Amino acid sequence: MSNIEVVGLGALNIDRVYHVERLLADGEAVVDEAGSFPGGSAANTIYGLARLGLSTGFTGMVGDDAEGRILISDFAKAGVDTSRIRATSQAKTGSVLCLSDRRGRRSLYVTPGANNLLAMDDLDMAYLNRAGLLHLSSFAGEGQLELSLAVASTLGPSTRLSFAPGALYSRKGLKALRPIIGRTHVLFTNRDEIDELTGEGAVDGARSCLEQGCKVVAVTLGQGARLKLGNGAASRIVTAVCYIRDAGSEYIIPAGEQDRESEADTTGAGDGFAAGFLYGLLSGKGLDECGRLGNAVARCSLSQAGARQGLPDPSQLAQRYQELYPGPG
């Protein structure tokens, strides 16, 4: 695929999701529902972009097993180019155990499996450099962090980079991730990750990331968080589901009634947000519109269990967008 628009690089996992009464430090609780779903942060975002009609591809590693074939087949059904996904007989496909309670809280336990075998020799840099944008997310292994750093440093200037560090990379801090963040066009985090990454909240943390060379920071805020914007007499308090900042401006996506609705399974909501945001960005939309599109896709993803089942096609996205933001298009 010579005209590919977005390529993803990140872990490929099977998510084993258990909806429980409540998360426990110790004790016993009932499982309300369980299921297995294709997953992986960048993989979910690429799947979402493919659903929205973009030309996409993915590079990564799976085991030569049934789970690996499920992941490749799921991508292929959405139209994602899977020619750069490697299968190995040396390890099983990666998996994530996800416990999600009725309040939307989660605990994730990662078994990296084949993801830990992905090496620079497995990547086709010419393929990555043909894309207009590379979307990168975290791995569990230290070797794959080094791979991510190497990719960021060798990526051609015409390919933009978007980066979703997730909890695993965010806790490494700004200094460790500076070579990637300095090359990043859009950084995607949630409020816990920006705090882990910078030691600061959404507003100050986003500014710190921009100081490292990142062009745009988008911080998702769940069902809504109160933020103080501006200084002195011009300051104001807002409740937002997303905070976006670039070198010249800051934008908020206000929390609406539908955003405050409780959701039992938030798995993949941030990945869906990234898909909607990048869809807007690649369509030439402004950052505030990108944020609204991101929130609309995230809300769609929350409508069904698993990270991908609710991701919309363009008509479904248009309908959800109109529900969230009624008025002229």
Residue 130 pLDDT greater than 80, yes or no: yes
In contact, 202 and 221? CB cutoff 8 Å? yes
In a domain, 80, yes or no: yes
pTM for the model stands at: 0.93
State the distance between the two ends of the chain, measured CA to CA, in whole angstroms.
Answer: 33
The range of the structural domain enclosing residue 167 comes to: 6-324
Q: How many CB atoms lie within 10 A of CB 122?
A: 15
Residue 5 pLDDT greater than 70, yes or no: yes
In a domain, 1, yes or no: no
Q: Which residues pair with 133 in a beta bridge?
A: 6, 160
**pLDDT of 165-202, one tens digit each?**
999 999 999 999 999 999 999 999 999 999 999 999 99
Q: Where are the beta strands (DSSP E) in the chain?
A: 6-9, 13-20, 31-39, 56-63, 81-88, 94-101, 106-111, 133-137, 160-164, 186-190, 216-229, 236-246, 250-254
CA 63, CA 149: separation in Å to the nearest integer? Answer: 24
**pLDDT of 197-223, one tens digit each?**
999 999 999 999 999 999 999 999 988
Quote the number of domains for the chain: 1
**Domain harbouring 60, CATH code:** 3.40.1190.20
What are the tokens at 53? 């009609």
In a domain, 329, yes or no: no
CA 269, CA 115: separation in Å to the nearest integer? Answer: 22
pLDDT grade, residue 1 (50/70/90)?
Answer: very low
**pLDDT of 219-272, one tens digit each?**
999 888 888 887 766 678 889 999 999 999 999 999 875 655 555 557 789 999
pLDDT grade, residue 63 (50/70/90)?
Answer: very high
In a domain, 208, yes or no: yes
In a domain, 197, yes or no: yes
Taking all residues of the chain, what is their mean pLDDT, rounded to a whole number? 92
Say what the pLDDT of residue 25 is: 80
The distance between the two most distant Cα atoms of the chain, rounded to a whole number of Å, is: 63
Residue 45 pLDDT greater than 60, yes or no: yes
Q: How many CB atoms lie within 10 A of CB 143?
A: 13
In contact, 236 and 230? CB cutoff 8 Å? yes
Average the pLDDT over each of 11-25, 67-81, 228-242 and give the range with the smallest value. Answer: 228-242
Q: Name the amino acid, one letter, at 213.
A: G
In a domain, 74, yes or no: yes
In a domain, 224, yes or no: yes
